[in-house]
Amino acid sequence: MKTHSLSALVLIAVGHIAIANENENDADTNSYIPKPPAGAFVVTYFDSAAITNLNGVEPAPEATQVDTYLKVPLGVSGDLTQGLWVYQFTFREREFRFDNTPSSTKQRLYDIAFPLSYIVEHDKNSRWVFNLSPGVKSSLEYFGSDDLAMNAVAQYSSKGQYHGYNLGLVYTHRFGEGKFVPLMNYRYRSGKTVSMVVGFPFSRLSYAPSFGQHYFAKLTPEGGSWHVYNKGNKKQSYQFEQQGFRLGLGAEYQLTGPLWLGAEAGVQFKQQLTLDNDQGQSGTLELEDSNYLQLTAKLRFR
């Protein structure tokens, strides 16, 4: 589609649509590096980002994003030797606000899921991890089969005293539309205090000088895909897709018992928003980089 056609479609969409696994293995019990949290509440605030590919539109429209995320543990059953089942509930609201348009527009998008994980030891130093996350990715004015979505992971993990690796296949919406991507990374641990995961689709460096304090740097994909209803009209809908990556630095501290508090700051870059309607028309917004600040409260049980 030509640039001016894309621009026109995007402006119509902004004006008239109600617009709109980075989990490591369990840390070793002899390490100060904390385990992934059993529960979490996370809020992320972003600077506004100008839309750069709408030629001739002044001032340039801007998009602002706010994320709210909740993870609740629902229970476990079994054990690692025979097979451990882990049950969770996750809720994510991603809000976009568009300014410098004919009228400021706000769109809330929801991702609600019930992740089910199965983890079983292959031998003393390796394990299999399988995860299915059925749920809903939608603006939720109505509910239909197009709102249903699924993420999935099949992963083999091996670790020694210092080195390890993860290999697997992931079906994810982190890159926009749902797609299969490989999971491949190398893991290194130095003593109790340093852990590194380098690969695809995420990388992370952790430093914990003692248990109860944790500093980290990470690079992760941060996109999504949602079914969006046009002005609440069930018969008119769009697929709203986001692509982007986050590079961040963070710190977290054990406040008391299982409760940890933390903060992370960084930049979200290579951002794109794509609208694809039921008539086969699509348009893509390219956004400037956005700085972000994330505040976290997590539950970890040793």
- Residue 270, Cα to own-chain centre: how many angstroms? 15
Q: 1: part of which helix (H) or strand (E)?
A: none
CB 1 within 8 A of CB 283: yes
Beta bridge partner(s), residue 151? 133
The CATH number for 184's domain is 2.40.160
Q: Which two tokens stand for residue 137?
A: 């990715």
Please give the pLDDT value at position 183. 96
Number of H helices, E strands in the chain: 1, 18
**Residue 14, burial from CB neighbour count under 10 angstroms (0-12, 13-18, 19+):** buried
CB 22 within 8 A of CB 112: no
Rounded Cα distance between 256 and 299, Å, is 10
Beta bridge partner(s), residue 207? 194, 215
pTM: 0.87
Instruction: Give tens-digit pLDDT for 68-127.
Output: 999 999 999 999 999 999 999 999 999 999 988 776 688 999 999 999 999 999 998 999
Q: Which domain holds residue 28?
A: 3-299
**Residue 144, burial from CB neighbour count under 10 angstroms (0-12, 13-18, 19+):** exposed
Pairing between β-strand 233-256 and β-strand 105-113 as defined by DSSP bridges: unpaired
pLDDT of 10 > 60? The answer is no
Maximum separation of any 2 CA atoms in the chain, in Å: 63
Q: Which two tokens stand for residue 131?
A: 């995860």
Instruction: Give tens-digit pLDDT for 163-205.
Output: 999 999 999 999 988 899 999 999 999 989 999 999 999 999 9
* Per-residue confidence band for 221, with pLDDT thresholds at 50, 70 and 90: very high
Positive or negative, the CA dihedral 242, 245, 248, 253 is positive
Instruction: Give tens-digit pLDDT for 135-152.
Output: 999 999 999 899 999 999
How many other C-beta atoms are found inside a 10 Å radius of the C-beta of residue 237? 21
- Selection from 187, 259, 270 nearest residue 40 by Cα: 259
CB 23 within 8 A of CB 86: no
Report the mean per-residue pLDDT for the chain.
88
CB 89 within 8 A of CB 100: no
Number of domains, the chain: 1
